[in-house]
A and B are shown apart, each in its own frame.
Chain A
Amino acid sequence: MRQAAVSVGLLAFLSGCNRHQSALATFGAEAEGIRTITIALVVGAVFIIAIMVGIYWRAVRAPEGQLTHKQGMRLVLWLGGIGPTILLTVILIFALPAMRPRVTAPGDLTIHVEGEQFWWRVGYERPGGGVLVAANEVRVPVGRTVAFELTGRDVIHSFWIPGLAGKMDMIPGRTNSLVARADKPGRYRGVCTEFCGLSHALMAFDVIAMEPAAFYAWLADQSRPAAGARQGQGAQLFAANGCGGCHAIRGTEHDARIGPDLSRYGDRLTLGAGILPPTIERTADFIRAPQDAKPGVRMPAYPQLSHQEARAIAVYLKGLK
């Protein structure tokens, strides 16, 4: 009985493990490097502790008079002075390469990400020039070097895709660069790791690593306006309620840059920056009362919309593919 309770308690420590958002389940070269160092350090630490315990054991159990002062001083010299110096030097040399940023070549993909309370403004530099604006989702081609240019708009945020690379702060008025390479296609997750306000814990994003051919096809396709961007009751309500005062949808007159770009909302994997399933019902609820899902959100509530009107707008947005 007690064993069962202990095992259930220990299970709680595993709750952080998943393959979407974990520095141990890596899909990029940078995170892999960090993971290798981590494993080497942990294994090494266990080994050193075992030696320490062994020496302690021997020292305590040895009969009186068997250990001399000279032996002791020699132990201190080797295991306390010379040994650690060599070991730490080896570890330093072993870990130093991880600090060198990956070298970028002209033609490598650059992705601009701007942190805002509480979402991500994303811009892909197109191969042919120009920037494709998107939000709350980062797509990267596998096997290619990608440079993230990171900044913040309002307060300091921090950009972290645990499976891809280390953290990097997003500081207003400054651009930090993070270069990484994804190696395994799949769907992953990134988060904000610098406390940025009420909904800091609700500020995440989806990361999709794709084969390069598929990625560049996707990038080219994104520039085309979504089908149905101008049709239907939802499109009319979107315009009549001034949603275009803050949001942009390619192929329409809505081109404001205050809130997230909604051009391809229908393709999004989550709603509200990585926190909710983007169903029609959830989207409609978010439009009427975004603060219920994200306290402190910058978007105003629209309680004046009837449920049916909000639903019509949600249906329209879901159709933007």
Chain B
Amino acid sequence: MTIRITWKRVLLALLAIFAAGMAFAWSGLFQVAASSGHWKVTEWFLHWVMRNSVKTYSALQTPEVVRDDRGLVSAAGHFKQACASCHGAPGQRPNPVMQKATPPAPDLTVNARQWTDRQLFWILEHGVKYSGMPAWGAEKRPDEVRRMVAFVRRLPTMTTAQYRALTETTTVPPVTGLRPGLIESCAGCHGVDGRGRGPDVPVLAGQKVAYLEGALRRYAAGHRASAVMRVAAAALSPMEMRVLARHYAAMPGLRDVALPATHPILTEGRRDDQLPACASCHAPNKAYPLIAGQKATYVADRLTHWRGDEKIVDARKPSATMPVIARRIPEEQIEPLARALAGAE
């Protein structure tokens, strides 16, 4: 007996297959248990899809520069807080509980070699669906992702001592009003003296209390974009934010002094570019943070970040105060300006 294939029969067969699939899904017989893992073939297929996707999209969706080796301290500190429990770190095995996930997070001290910088950037920025890998904790902070790429790149060859040197500092005197371990965690990047342990970490010592406290609050709420500081600030109570702000503000460091005339933009601005002087807002009795003596690398990075992408049309560029001001600073003046500011104390 032969069955004649007609359009009607094909359609009915497809409908039957779909109905059977839905019935299977509805029955709950499909196991979502992580304990059983995947079949070998499923695992291969899923990873194959993931690798292809990363290869394709990392070529399409990444900026020109994807790695920044100048400052590793903030990336290392963030890795320790946010990544190490799943991925492990030099001298630290991944949390065994997290290793029971399907799929388990790869041990980056081994696995980081498999990816190019560009692919790492894409994975860090966007995360990976269905795998538990989250996207970067703040939007539009490619500078943070670039530093993390540089850090992850070094993981396979990093010794425990090197990792410790990046993430830990000498003994930190305890601060009253903070739970144990908190100030040590802050000092891992910001240093015992509040001056920051790398060129990517700003000087907090001597900064205004209200500014520091407000910054912590804005980081925690996500109003100020930074994955690194959001993770650090989200766990703080309002009281701890105040104690920390006072702690760093009380340290000797930045001073509330008039900006020196070491660069014309600091004290005069550029009228033809509609650029007001830095000292219009950053001076004694003004409402804005102290910047005299801040690190040149940090200042230049912030200004460059605020300038944003030159290719975006004006109407879509951010209109907040500093992005607007930073866009009026001639690009070649950013480095000299930051250096002049750093020398000012």
A114, B89: Cα distance in complex, Å: 62
A257, B276: Cα distance in complex, Å: 9
- Which of the candidate stretches B33-41, B63-71, B313-321 sits at the interface with the other chain? B313-321
Q: Is the CB of B315 within 8 A of A298?
A: no
Is A55 among interface residues, defined by CB-CB distance under 8 A?
no
Inter-chain contact count A-B, CB under 8 Å?
60
Residues of B within 8 Å of A295, CB to CB, are: 315
Contact with B along A284-307 (1 / 0, CB 8 A): 000001110001111111111000
A247 nearest in chain B by CB position: B276
Q: Is the CB of B320 within 8 A of A300?
A: yes
Residues of A within 8 Å of B235, CB to CB, are: none
Q: Is the CB of A300 within 8 A of B314?
A: no
A302 nearest in chain B by CB position: B321
Which of A237, A290, A296 neighbours the largest number of chain B CB atoms within 10 Å of its CB? A296
- B280, B285, B315, B319: the one contacting A289 at CB < 8 Å is B319
B214 nearest in chain A by CB position: A304
Contact with A along B259-298 (1 / 0, CB 8 A): 0000000000101001111001100011110000000000
Is B133 among interface residues, defined by CB-CB distance under 8 A?
no
Residues of B within 8 Å of A227, CB to CB, are: none
Minimum Cβ distance to chain B for residue A195 (Å): 15
Q: Is the CB of A300 within 8 A of B321?
A: yes
Q: Is the CB of B320 within 8 A of A245?
A: no
- A245, A289, A290: the one contacting B277 at CB < 8 Å is A245
Q: Is the CB of B315 within 8 A of A242?
A: no
Is A51 among interface residues, defined by CB-CB distance under 8 A?
no
Minimum Cβ distance to chain B for residue A254 (Å): 9
A258, B324: Cα distance in complex, Å: 14
- CB-CB under 8 A for A241 and B320, given A198-B314, A246-B276, A256-B276: no
Is A239 among interface residues, defined by CB-CB distance under 8 A?
yes
Is B50 among interface residues, defined by CB-CB distance under 8 A?
no
Is B325 among interface residues, defined by CB-CB distance under 8 A?
yes
Residues of B within 8 Å of A198, CB to CB, are: 314-315
Q: Is the CB of A239 within 8 A of B276?
A: no
Residues of A within 8 Å of B319, CB to CB, are: 289-291, 297, 300-301
Contact with B along A107-150 (1 / 0, CB 8 A): 00000000000000000000000000000000000000000000
B328 nearest in chain A by CB position: A298
Tally chain A residues at the interface, Cβ within 8 Å: 25
A198, B271: Cα distance in complex, Å: 22
Residues of B within 8 Å of A237, CB to CB, are: 287
Residues of A within 8 Å of B281, CB to CB, are: 241-242, 245
Q: Is the CB of B315 within 8 A of A241?
A: no
Q: Is the CB of B285 within 8 A of A240?
A: yes
A237 nearest in chain B by CB position: B287
A241, B281: Cα distance in complex, Å: 6
Residues of B within 8 Å of A298, CB to CB, are: 274, 324
Minimum Cβ distance to chain B for residue A296 (Å): 6
A239, B275: Cα distance in complex, Å: 17
A21, B91: Cα distance in complex, Å: 77
A295, B316: Cα distance in complex, Å: 10
Which of A198, A237, A258 neighbours the largest number of chain B CB atoms within 10 Å of its CB? A258
Is A244 among interface residues, defined by CB-CB distance under 8 A?
yes
Minimum Cβ distance to chain A for residue B316 (Å): 10
A318, B269: Cα distance in complex, Å: 28
B318 nearest in chain A by CB position: A301
Q: Is the CB of A303 within 8 A of B269?
A: no
Contact with A along B194-226 (1 / 0, CB 8 A): 000000000000000000000000000000000
Q: Is the CB of A244 within 8 A of B286?
A: no
Residues of A within 8 Å of B269, CB to CB, are: 245, 258
B286 nearest in chain A by CB position: A240
Q: Is the CB of A242 within 8 A of B320?
A: no
A254 nearest in chain B by CB position: B280
Residues of B within 8 Å of A240, CB to CB, are: 285-287
A246, B271: Cα distance in complex, Å: 9
Q: Is the CB of A258 within 8 A of B320?
A: no
Residues of B within 8 Å of A301, CB to CB, are: 319-321, 324
Minimum Cβ distance to chain A for residue B230 (Å): 18
A296, B324: Cα distance in complex, Å: 11
Q: Is the CB of A258 within 8 A of B271?
A: yes
A239, B314: Cα distance in complex, Å: 28
List 7 additional contacts besides A245-B280, A300-B322; criterion CB under 8 Å: A241-B287, A245-B281, A257-B271, A258-B275, A258-B276, A291-B319, A303-B320
Query: Can you name 6 A-B residue pairings with CB atoms under 8 Å?
Result: A241-B288, A246-B274, A246-B276, A296-B314, A301-B321, A304-B320
Q: Which 8 A-B pairs have the closest CB atoms?
A: A245-B280, A245-B276, A242-B281, A300-B324, A242-B280, A240-B287, A300-B321, A301-B319
